Amino acid sequence: MSRTKSKNKAISIRINETDLITIDYLAATAGMKRSAYMCQRSLSTGPNLAKPLRDKIKSWNLLNEIYHEIQKSNDTQLKHRIHKLLSVEDSK
């Protein structure tokens, strides 16, 4: 089986007929071929959704450390300022 054929088969496992019709319609509207359209979509949306979430989760451990360390401090003003910063960071 050629590389293109096996690739098409792999795509067909994940995408059903209705999805393909929608993709073809959107590709035609954008004046592109199906493969070029899918490639452009995956480059523009795929990594952008996952990467911030990954980075966010990784940063949470550091925020925990900051929170626990500041809890031990007697400086109430500093505590208040850090808690404020942490709540701003969480809401992003």
Task: Using CB under 8 A, list all residues that contact other proteins.
Answer: 14, 50, 53-54, 57-58, 60-61, 63-64, 67-68, 86, 90
- 8 Å CB contact between 73 and 79: yes
| Closest approach of other proteins to the CB of residue 90, in Å | 6
Q: Closer to other proteins by CB, 38 or 63: give it.
A: 63
Q: CA torsion 28→30→32→35, rounded to 10°? A: -90
Three-state secondary structure of 35-47: HHHHHHHHHHCHH
Q: Closer to other proteins by CB, 23 or 86: give it.
A: 86
| Closest approach of other proteins to the CB of residue 77, in Å | 19
| Closest approach of other proteins to the CB of residue 27, in Å | 21
**CA-to-CA distance for 75 and 92, rounded, in angstroms?**
26
